[in-house]
Amino acid sequence: MAFGDIYTFGPTFRAENSNTVRHLAEFWMIEPEMAFYDLNDNANLAEELLKYVIGYAIEKCGDDIEFLSQRLLEEEKQKPQLERSEMNLVEKLKFCLDNNFERVTYTEAIAILRESNHNKKKKFQYLINEWGVDLQSEHERYLVEKHFKKPVILTDYPKNIKAFYMRQNDDGKTVRAMDILFPGIGEIVGGSQREERLEKLETRMKEMNIPVEELGWYLDTRRFGACPHAGFGLGFERLVLFVTGMTNIRDVIPFPRTPNNCEF
């Protein structure tokens, strides 16, 4: 609140037992937080950051990206035709640079997915039948790669699948959350406008059985001088994964920490 715009860049730990090519037990997170930002300002900053980093990599490391693009093409040849990417690495990066990110609410996205041929023909592993379900990577990629054909910023998620500190909308059902979806990997950024209203925050914590006493220090940040604010998290390894075209997140961090593995 005092500095206005701040950020952190450091290790983050996750307790989920996720053994996938997109998850680590410890990863590095870039987390900006801005005073007097609403969700729209937050989305604008995240889009500008992603475009800047990708543009910088293409400008300064063009030869490396061309090499990695060729490497990926060779790797893709080993896969069945249906599993191959429709874009090579350079095309994928330009896809994110050259398009304005499409802004869509969760409710609109659910309607699109439910009515899609993919859903009707049961091509999704997780079928979309009702409002309120958490979207899977296959749904996120469908929106980006098949429907809009541009990166997507999804907003206004159901409050029941999001954290207690996200600002509640007037409809009583959704919160001011956002995810940015990219081709090939799905979600690359997650963030929200935070709930600055003390009474709303306390009510939501009680609804979710979060111990108000233990988080007294957090509530004090609202009690003594709060203002509207927003922020987001960008997983550094997932960004490196996307820009380099690598297919396993364990290959873009020196000492990967994964469930049941602690060699270093």
Is 258 within a domain? no
Residues 154 and 182: beta-carbon distance below 8 Å:
no
Q: Is residue 191 part of a domain?
A: yes
Q: Could you list the residue range(s) of the whole structural domain that residue 85 is in?
A: 5-252
Whether 262 is in a domain gets the answer no
Mean pLDDT of all residues in 45-71:
96
pLDDT attached to residue 138 = 93
Which pLDDT belongs to residue 225?
Answer: 82
Spell out the residues 6+ positions from residue 33 whose beta carbon is closer than 8 angstroms to its own: 5, 6, 7, 229, 230, 231
* Cβ atoms within 10 Å, residue 21: 12
Q: Which two tokens stand for residue 248?
A: 């396993």
Could you give the CA distance from residue 58 to residue 54 in angstroms, rounded to a whole number?
Answer: 6
Residue 145 has pLDDT above 90, yes or no: yes
Q: Report how many domains make up the chain.
A: 1
Q: Is 237 left (phi over 0), alpha (psi -120 to 50) or beta?
A: alpha
Q: Residue 163 belongs to a domain with what CATH number?
A: 3.30.930.10
- pTM above 0.85? yes
Amino acid 87: pLDDT = 87
Does the residue 260 lie in any domain?
no
Which residues, at least 6 apart from 70, have a Cβ–Cβ distance to it below 8 Å? none
If pLDDT is split at 50, 70 and 90, which confidence band does 264 have?
A: low
What was the pLDDT predicted at 78?
83
Lowest average pLDDT, out of 70-74, 197-201, 258-262, goes to 258-262
Q: Given the DSSP bridges, would you call strands 152-158 and 102-105 parallel, antiparallel or unpaired? A: parallel
Band the pLDDT of 30: cuts 50, 70, 90: very high
Could you tell me if residue 123 is inside a domain? yes
Q: What is the pLDDT of residue 189?
A: 97
What DSSP state is assigned to residue 166? B
Q: What is the chain's mean pLDDT, rounded?
A: 93
Percent of the chain's residues with pLDDT above 70: 98
User: Would residue 264 count as lying in a domain?
Assistant: no
Compute CA distances 40 → 44, 207, 234, whole Å.
6, 27, 17
**3-state SS assignment for residue 139:** helix
Cα distances (angstroms) measured from residue 31 to each of 28, 49, 146: 10, 12, 30
For residue range 172-227, list pLDDT tens digits in order.
Answer: 999 999 999 999 888 999 999 999 999 999 999 999 999 999 999 999 999 998 89
Instruction: Give a yes or no: residue 203 inside a domain.
Output: yes
